[in-house]
Chain A
Amino acid sequence: MSQNKTEGATESQRARRWWQVPPPVTIAVAVLLGVGAYTFQYAEGLSYLSADPAACVNCHIMQPQFDSWQKSSHHGVAVCVDCHLPHHFLGKYLAKAENGYHHSRGFTFQDFHEPIRIKGKNARILQANCIACHEALAHDMLAGASNHPDEVECVHCHANVGHGEPAGLGGPWDPQEIRRAAR
């Protein structure tokens, strides 16, 4: 058959029947959906929508942080999300999505600095949350705006209120390290 003729004849049919997917595509998509759904379930994907601290140690990187939170003074009054995520709905899920992306990418490719440290946007969220709960106390200390870049963070001094003991954990060796140490 000639290609021109086929294209001309099926143009309108294709537009009408785009959803009539050929069996190989159907099967392939079904497999993808199945594996994807199972992976999501196996990775406890739904738990990340909760506020349960156990969800934060799903991927094990946070285990020392989780352990040290259990030994902290804030253990009884604040869980992970109370300090580490914005308190309003939209900000909370935006931060979850952004951190979730960075964390899963980092843990899968194992390419992040260790010991892990809070910084940037997450440090600002944390600072805002300290003030949100301790507003009555902090009100008189913070004259004016509290978003100045050089403003001292509460946790600079109160380092172990959230994590009761040093929480870090050094990373694995990188291949160059032995050579560097021997030099």
Chain B
Amino acid sequence: MKYTLQKGWSTPVTIAVVLVVAVATALVTALLVNIYERKDEARNRFVRLVEVDEDTTDPEPWGVNFPKQYASYRLTAEPTRTRFGGHGGSEALPEQKIERDPWLKRMFLGYAFSIDYRDRRGHAYMLEDQENTLRLTKPQSGSCLHCHASIMPLYRELGDGDAMKGFEESYAYSYQELNAQLHDLGHGHPVSCVDCHSPEDMRLRVTRPGFIQGIRALAESAAPVPHLPSIERWRAGSRSEPYDPNTDASRTEMRSYVCGQCHVEYYCGGKLPLTFPWGEGLRAAAIETYWNELTFDDGSRFMDYKHAESGAPLLKAQHPEFELWSQGIHARSGVSCADCHMPYQRDGASKVSDHWVRSPLLNVNRACQTCHRLPEEEIKARVEAIQQRNFELLQRSADALMALLDAVAAARADGATDEQLAEALELQRMAQWRLDFIAAENSMGFHAPQEAAMVLGEAADYARQGQVAALRWNEPRTETAAVTE
């Protein structure tokens, strides 16, 4: 065939067409590579570049293997704030809660929280903030490190390989002593990957001895736990082995249990090993019963502290998030802690858990909207309505407790004895336990709004009963003056 370039197409046209086709080819190739990358991401594999084991408390090597999760875990150092929680803005220490709400300070007189009690910062600061709190000017037990450090290797060290034994000895150490050992062993890290994940296969697991003992006691009790079906299954079974969350619980339950290792009520003083009070159930009154039936080794009544003003033997609620969540509609519907506080997020074609643990109010899109098909503003407004109502009831219950304390102080000034004030002081213990249970809990009632309202209602009622008892300190005792439950 007779064919020349000049006769068919002119050179500029040929060049132009080749260029256009080249650009089109480049775009198709880019699409091909994009599709390849997405398919590759979807295989969801990881590359084990660094070996990690039970003693790898430093999160950084884990982060080499799991860069996505590590990147979000590191963000817990970011300051975040909501209407009722957190701390926003600067490097400075968070605001003092006890200055914002003076009733907190009066309630805690005689306890170190009256010295220093601030808004919380993220997980990244849990150890540093604890090492620097002014509460350490009073003697503090080594038990505190159960939750503020990646402590399991130290427990194994203390117990010659048996972590449970090491744990049971750790309460007798002072905080400073145990913390120094922790740093000497190179484990001075806040909660870390190894605390919730098995280094072998990354599956979720619980490590904290306090939780393992506590959930076992809960399983052995008769308290209803419809939100924890593996416990109900265990109860119905042979019970030949004690309940073991690491083998018996479902993945959904584990996504709450790992948080329940620390976000709970416990005793962390120096007179007993760290204790999770779940042997009677998870509700405020059940935990109170548990504490009331407990005595110290010397036979004296269990208490967290003696109130410096009234002399009442008091309980201090820690931060019973797991317990309050257990009474709420989300728990009952099978929604775990991680579903809202560490929601799944899409990353390219893969699905990762957001390890930037924070308030769902800062993450409504991923935390709430995956289930609730409502606009973000509507969801926020509903949460804020619940929290605002809880806040108002909380303040009102606090007023009632302050009135009780005023009445006790007036009675003391008029010469009332401990015996004459016994009923008022017992009612202070009951009222304050309930008020503190909701005040110290970190959801402003949201985790279980009806339960929170009930507990606060009881707090106000007991406080007013106590006020009446203190006002009548010098009236003759009658049979009917007994506390009404």
Is B358's CB within 8 Å of the partner chain A? yes
A61–B349 Cα distance when bound, in Å, is 7
Residues of chain A in range 23-67 having any CB-CB distance to chain B below 8 Å:
24-25, 28-29, 31-32, 35-36, 38-39, 42-43, 59-61, 63-64
Contact string, A107-124, partner B, CB cutoff 8 A, digits 1/0?
110100011010000000
Q: Once the chains bind, are B9 and A114 in contact (CB under 8 Å)? A: no
Residues of chain B in range 336-354 having any CB-CB distance to chain A below 8 Å:
343-351, 354
Is B92's CB within 8 Å of the partner chain A? no
Q: Which of B283-291, B313-321, B367-375, B405-413 contacts A (4 or more CB under 8 A)?
A: B367-375
Contact partner of A181 (CB less than 8 A), chosen from B349, B358, B366, is B358
Q: Once the chains bind, are B31 and A169 in contact (CB under 8 Å)? A: no
Is B223's CB within 8 Å of the partner chain A? no
Is B80's CB within 8 Å of the partner chain A? yes
A103–B36 Cα distance when bound, in Å, is 17
> How many inter-chain contacts with C-beta < 8 Å in the A-B complex?
127
Q: Once the chains bind, are B14 and A22 in contact (CB under 8 Å)? A: yes
Minimum Cβ distance to chain A for residue B338 (Å): 13
Q: B28, B42, B89, B358: which has the most chain A beta carbons within 10 Å?
A: B28
A20–B303 Cα distance when bound, in Å, is 98
A13–B373 Cα distance when bound, in Å, is 66
Q: Which of B19-27, B212-220, B391-399, B422-430 contacts A (4 or more CB under 8 A)?
A: B19-27
Minimum Cβ distance to chain B for residue A59 (Å): 7
Q: Once the chains bind, are B31 and A171 in contact (CB under 8 Å)? A: no
Is B78's CB within 8 Å of the partner chain A? yes
Residues of chain B in range 20-67 having any CB-CB distance to chain A below 8 Å:
21-22, 24-25, 28-29, 31-32, 34-36, 38, 41-42
Is A8's CB within 8 Å of the partner chain B? no
Q: Kindly list chain B residues whose C-beta atoms are within 8 Å of the C-beta of A183.
A: 88
A115–B372 Cα distance when bound, in Å, is 11
Is B17's CB within 8 Å of the partner chain A? yes
> Which residue of the partner chain B has the closest CB to A25?
B17
Q: Once the chains bind, are A169 and B32 in contact (CB under 8 Å)? A: no
A136–B31 Cα distance when bound, in Å, is 47
Contact partner of B8 (CB less than 8 A), chosen from A20, A43, A168, A173, is A20
Q: Once the chains bind, are B365 and A182 in contact (CB under 8 Å)? A: no
Q: Kindly list chain B residues whose C-beta atoms are within 8 Å of the C-beta of A117.
A: 373
Q: Once the chains bind, are B35 and A13 in contact (CB under 8 Å)? A: no
Q: Once the chains bind, are A22 and B32 in contact (CB under 8 Å)? A: no
Q: Kindly list chain B residues whose C-beta atoms are within 8 Å of the C-beta of A28.
A: 17-18, 21-22, 25
Q: Kindly list chain A residues whose C-beta atoms are within 8 Å of the C-beta of B362.
A: 181
Q: Once the chains bind, are B344 and A170 in contact (CB under 8 Å)? A: yes
Contact A169/B9 with A28-B25, A29-B21, A60-B349 known, Cβ cut-off 8 Å:
no
Contact A170/B366 with A28-B18, A60-B42, A108-B31 known, Cβ cut-off 8 Å:
yes
A32–B369 Cα distance when bound, in Å, is 43
Contact A108/B34 with A13-B7, A14-B8, A168-B369 known, Cβ cut-off 8 Å:
yes
Is B379's CB within 8 Å of the partner chain A? no
Minimum Cβ distance to chain A for residue B286 (Å): 31
22 inter-chain pairs at a CB distance below 8 angstroms, sorted by A residue, are A10-B6, A14-B9, A17-B8, A20-B3, A20-B8, A25-B14, A25-B21, A31-B21, A35-B29, A42-B36, A60-B350, A108-B31, A114-B346, A117-B373, A166-B370, A166-B371, A168-B369, A169-B370, A170-B365, A181-B80, A181-B363, A182-B89
User: Top 9 nearest A-B pairs by Cβ distance?
Assistant: A170-B366, A168-B370, A60-B349, A28-B21, A166-B371, A39-B32, A32-B25, A170-B345, A20-B8
